């Protein structure tokens, strides 16, 4: 099996550790209807990007920051957590990893990310980077640079697990290697990653004295 060695792993959240598409799509569909924007276009671009960037792409005539604030508020108030599930193998691997060897960098707000992790019984990392923590979200490198710094490593020493082109671009710009999962995009969209796996369950992570080894 091919493998990468690293000192720490930086995970995206949605599409990598958990599947919350039903929740996001419900809210994006309502938003698209309200603003007469193509819902299909939103589905093409929203994965891995903060809401404000998605809105800038699909509706540049709107005030993206204000609209994103309203959209995220709706998500935060949505208590329908059964729309979210953890991917197979996630809980076991996160509980095996030393707390100082992994972090999450997500485009979801902190309140949303924590609520979903807690609902699914997944550990909340000591370093959880959300749009509130950085000047620019993905595809800028800021989230992964901040996450690496938070656990005491350079981005070059870390491996990123992603599923969206915007997240891959962010990780590469930060200097990290990337394994992309084909959970939300086909391989043809993930070509900038260093490696591609079909799902989280395909990953094997070993903890050793010299760091971590991730194979697929």
Q: Look at residues 131, 93, 89, 134 and name the one whose alpha carbon lies nearest to residue 109.
A: 131
Instruction: Give yes or no: residues 112 and 157 share one domain.
Output: yes
Catalytic residue among 14, 21, 142, 169: 14
Based on the domain organization, do 174 and 187 belong to the same domain? yes
Predicted local distance difference test score (pLDDT) of residue 82: 79
Structure tokens at 99: 């707390």
Do 49 and 139 share a domain, yes or no?
Answer: no
Residues 173, 118, single domain; the answer is yes
Is the model's pLDDT at 80 over the cut of 90?
A: no
- Count of alpha carbons within 13 angstroms of residue 64, beta-carbon side: 13
CATH of the domain at 7: 3.40.50.1000
Catalytic residue among 12, 21, 142, 169: 12
Arithmetic mean of pLDDT over the chain: 95
Catalytic annotation on 12? Answer: yes
Kindly report the pTM of this predicted structure: 0.87
- When pLDDT is cut at 50, 70 and 90, the band that residue 75 belongs to is confident
Residues 133 and 196 in one domain: yes
Range of 163's domain?
Answer: 3-20+84-215
Q: In the prediction, which pLDDT does 49 show?
A: 86
| Contact in structure between 136 and 142 (CB atoms under 8 Å) | yes
Sheet holding 3-6, edge to edge: 3-6, 211-215, 204-208
Same domain, 145 and 53: no
| C-alpha dihedral sign at 98, 102, 108, 109 | positive
Phi, psi of 179 (to 5 degrees): -105, 125
Number of structural domains (the chain) is 2
Q: What is the DSSP string of 56-124?
A: HHH-TTS-HHHHHHHHHHHHHT---GGG-EEPTTHHHHHHHS-GGGEEEE-SS-HHHHHHHHHHTTPPP
Looking at the fold, whether 65 and 102 belong to one and the same domain comes out as no
Token duo for residue 199:
């799902």
Q: Which of 25-39, 45-59, 68-82, 198-212 has the lowest mean pLDDT?
A: 68-82
Asked about 133 being catalytic, the answer comes back as: no
The predicted structure's pLDDT at residue 139: 95
193 and 131 inside one domain: yes
Shared-domain flag, residues 124 and 211: yes
Same domain, yes or no: 56 and 105 = no
In this structure, are 105 and 64 located in the same domain?
no
Structural domain ending residue among the three candidates 76, 96, 123? 76
């Amino acid at each position: 099996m091919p493998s990468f060695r690293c000192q720490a792993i930086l995970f995206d959240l949605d599409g990598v550790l958990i599947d919350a598409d039903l929740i996001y799509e419900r809210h994006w569909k309502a938003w698209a209807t309200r603003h007469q924007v193509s819902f299909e276009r939103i589905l093409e671009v929203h994965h891995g990007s903060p809401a404000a960037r998605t809105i800038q792409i699909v509706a540049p005539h709107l005030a993206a920051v204000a609209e994103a604030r309203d959209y995220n508020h709706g998500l935060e108030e949505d208590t329908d957590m059964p729309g979210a599930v953890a991917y197979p193998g996630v809980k076991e691997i996160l509980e095996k990893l030393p707390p100082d060897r992994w972090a999450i960098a997500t485009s979801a707000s902190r309140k949303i990310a924590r609520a979903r992790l807690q609902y699914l019984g997944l550990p909340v990392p000591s370093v959880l980077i959300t749009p509130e923590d950085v000047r620019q979200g993905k595809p800028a490198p800021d989230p992964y640079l901040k996450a690496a710094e938070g656990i005491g490593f350079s981005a070059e020493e870390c491996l990123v697990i992603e599923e969206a082109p915007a997240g891959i671009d962010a990780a590469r710009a930060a200097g990290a290697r990337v394994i992309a999962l084909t959970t939300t995009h086909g391989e043809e969209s993930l070509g900038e990653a260093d490696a591609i796996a079909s799902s989280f369950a395909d990953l094997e992570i070993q903890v050793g004295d010299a760091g971590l080894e991730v194979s697929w």
